[in-house]
């Protein structure tokens, strides 16, 4: 399950309302890279595949691919509106190490493939 704070939910709904393509939803996932081994992927999409898991979180349609789900199950997404330093933050209970900026991680059972030049 993915958890989204009220402030993040409000911001995501606002951003989705600005999209010109109907039936858009939030897609979450991970990809190898970043300083620690995996980088978070978060964006809007309008196509699902048989490899996806669908969730309804605070009236938001959230889709995660089946390979990413074990790495981000329990993920908490928050949003802080703090001027230049604000934005979305990820708190992942599966992460055993993260990079300084919080954009990449590794787990106890999967180190991913770090790419320090991406940090």
115, pLDDT greater than 80: no
Q: What's the pLDDT band for 67 if we cut at 50, 70, 90?
A: very high
Out of 3.30.70.1060, 2.40.420.20, 3.50.50.60, 2.60.300.12, which CATH number does the structure's domain 3-106 have? 2.60.300.12
Nearest to 42 by CA among 63, 58, 56: 63
Q: What's the pLDDT band for 50 if we cut at 50, 70, 90?
A: very high
53-69 average pLDDT score:
96
Nearest to 64 by CA among 40, 36, 98: 40
Enter the tokens of residue 66. Answer: 């089946």
| pLDDT the model gives residue 102 | 61
Query: What is the model's pTM?
Result: 0.84
Give the start-to-end residue ranges of the domains of the chain.
3-106
């Amino acid at each position: 399950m993915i958890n989204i704070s009220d402030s993040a939910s409000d911001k995501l709904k606002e951003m989705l309302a600005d999209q010109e393509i109907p039936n858009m939803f939030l897609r979450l996932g991970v990809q190898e890279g970043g300083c620690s081994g995996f980088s978070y992927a978060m964006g809007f999409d309008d196509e699902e595949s048989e490899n996806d898991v669908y969730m309804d979180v605070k009236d938001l349609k959230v889709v995660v691919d089946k390979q990413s789900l074990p790495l981000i199950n329990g993920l908490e997404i928050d949003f802080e509106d703090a001027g230049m330093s604000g934005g979305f933050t990820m708190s992942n209970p599966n992460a055993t190490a993260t990079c300084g900026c919080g954009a990449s991680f590794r787990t106890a059972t999967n180190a991913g493939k770090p790419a320090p030049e991406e940090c």
